[in-house]
Structure 1
Amino acid sequence: MNTHLFASKMASIPSVSQSQLFLKKPQFISSPTTCLFIKPSQSLNLSVSRSKKLVVVAAAGAGTAAAEEKSKKRYPGEGKGFVEEMRFVAMKLHTKDQAKEGEKEAQEKPLPKWEPTIDGYLKFLVDSKLVYDTLEKIVRKADFPEYAEFRNTGLERAESLAKDLAWLKEQGYSIPEPSSPGRSYSAYVEELSKKDPQAFICHFYNTYFAHSAGGRMIGKKVAEKILNGKELEFYKWDGDLSQLLQNVRNKLNVVAENWSREEKNHCLEETEKSFKFSGEILRLILS
């Protein structure tokens, strides 16, 4: 057909309004190169098909947006550095009467009256020294380079405990061998340190920082009960303790900057085990 004649015939076809799509008369749909003869029902099917495609595309876009939002999820304390994340998880494991941020319910049955014994306290000090000896040996050896960052922080406790045990021996007390809780924890962190630096750092943080807070309060109560108020070297630090702690916080935050989110989460998940081991050693005071 002559091109001009085709164009003239097409121009003579009246335009179809949107409302006429629902009439039963056939329609012509034209393009610059084709002329199609379509029934009204086919026109509707094309419209529905196009709508379905739009829905699928929109759903795919929403799924991608949700995945991106999830990847940007902020963890409690994350904005202040990884140490704040560790502190937040540790606080969650406290009961509400132990810390204002605690989330665990207090035990329904009250604990027996807190009566430390000298024999139990000696066991606690001996087992604690074994754990600190192990932690400090690990950072000196540094199987992983980041461990070396925590040498000579000023928080070390093994030497102070050695002095306390020597003094107690001078007072006539018999110093026991390390017991099961201390040996178990020492073996665990030593094995962990060789293959799992993120988990080891969790134990390192919780051991030193817990002693600088709750540990000091317990030491004061024990001294009043069984040591005539004597303050042991275990509860003394050279220099400003708050500054020593801040220095270690800074180092921990720097080390954790090189970890993936999965590695950080793995570190946080070790917190409960840290509490379990340290709690078993702490209970020796009452034995």
Structure 2
Amino acid sequence: MPLKAVSVWETKKRYSGEEKGFVEEMRFVAMKLHTRDQAKEGEKEDPDVQPLAKWEPSIEGYIRFLVDSKVVYDTLESIVNEAAYPVYAEFQNTGLERSEKLSKDLEWFKEQGHCIPEPSSPGTSYASYLKELSEKVPPAFICHFYNVYFAHTAGGRMIGKKVAGKILDSKQLEFYKWDGDFSQLLQNAREKLNRVTQSWSREEKDRCLEETEKSFKYSGEILRLIVL
């Protein structure tokens, strides 16, 4: 008898108990898609992903990254505020919003004499995908919401610090600052995510988890702008 194929989230059930809530399921699947250089739980092998220590960022590339990131955050925050589905309204004013912070950073770069380009394909493509997805499949959209915001609070902060040390005299941008107790903001968001997903069927949860790889793909394309 042939062995049944086991999906990554089915495997997950044996390693991170569902009793911790659905956020733990999302975190587990996301961690497996990191390389070992990015996270100790990472399993992905990708020769095209250069270790962070070897990055050679440029001001121009970093600005492109910030511009495209802003397009994505603008879209996420617009979707949440318009709340076409009631579940989206739960994530209004979490304190994790980044659009306004990015506006301040881009204005600062402009004041330093740098040209602020128009958004490029990585950012606009991801924004278009998010808008379409949010209108059709709420569980899949929630996956992107979780991964974009939570990745920025973890690996994103580390990347920001490394890049700033190389090209900005270690200046901390507003993008990496939060108002209020940062750990409490994250905990509040986790609790909301666990609460709204508690009533989801297993099929809806699996549909959310299936979207993780696309979230990494789109975000990775924007991240790579830093070193292009």
| TM-score in terms of structure 2 length | 0.90
Aligned to 2:153: 212
Matched, 1:228 2:169: yes
Q: Which runs of 5+ in 1 are unaligned?
A: 1-69
Of structures 1 and 2, the larger Rg is shown by 1
Q: Which runs of 5+ in 2 are unaligned?
A: 1-9
RMSD (CA atoms)? 1.9
Counterpart CA distance in 2 for 1:194 and 1:251 is 21
Cα 1:131–1:110 change in 2 (3 A) is closer
Counterpart CA distance in 2 for 1:176 and 1:260 is 43
Select which of 104, 125, 133 maps to 2:44.
104
Aligned residues: 216
Counterpart CA distance in 2 for 1:111 and 1:206 is 21
Query: Do 2:81 and 2:92's aligned partners in 1 also have CA atoms closer than 8 Å?
Result: yes
Matched, 1:84 2:24: yes
Aligned to 1:175: 116
Aligned to 2:64: 123
Cα 1:177–1:108 change in 2 (3 A) is closer
Query: Do 2:110 and 2:116's aligned partners in 1 also have CA atoms closer than 8 Å?
Result: yes
**Sequence identity of aligned pairs in percent?**
74
Select which of 227, 248, 253 maps to 2:194.
253
The superposition leaves residues 62-112 of structure 1 with CA deviations (integer Å, 9 ceiling, x where unpaired) of xxxxxxxx9xx7783411000000000001101223212112236399669
Cα 1:202–1:96 change in 2 (3 A) is same
Within 5 Å, which residues of 2 pair with 1:260-271? Answer: 260-271=201-212
Query: Do 2:37 and 2:51's aligned partners in 1 also have CA atoms closer than 8 Å?
Result: no
Higher relative contact order, structure no. (Cα contacts within 8 Å, ≥ 6 residues apart):
2
Cα 1:261–1:234 change in 2 (3 A) is same
Counterpart CA distance in 2 for 1:85 and 1:108 is 27
Within 5 Å, which residues of 2 pair with 1:58-69? Answer: none
Within 5 Å, which residues of 2 pair with 1:22-37? Answer: none
SS of equivalent to 2:119: coil
SS of equivalent to 1:143: coil
SS of equivalent to 1:132: helix
Aligned to 2:80: 139
Q: Which amino acid aligns with 2:74?
A: D
Counterpart CA distance in 1 for 2:33 and 2:219 is 13
More divergent stretch after superposition (94-103 vs 188-197): 94-103
The superposition leaves residues 117-154 of structure 1 with CA deviations (integer Å, 9 ceiling, x where unpaired) of 11100100000000000000000000100100000000
SS of equivalent to 1:212: helix
Counterpart CA distance in 1 for 2:194 and 2:221 is 29
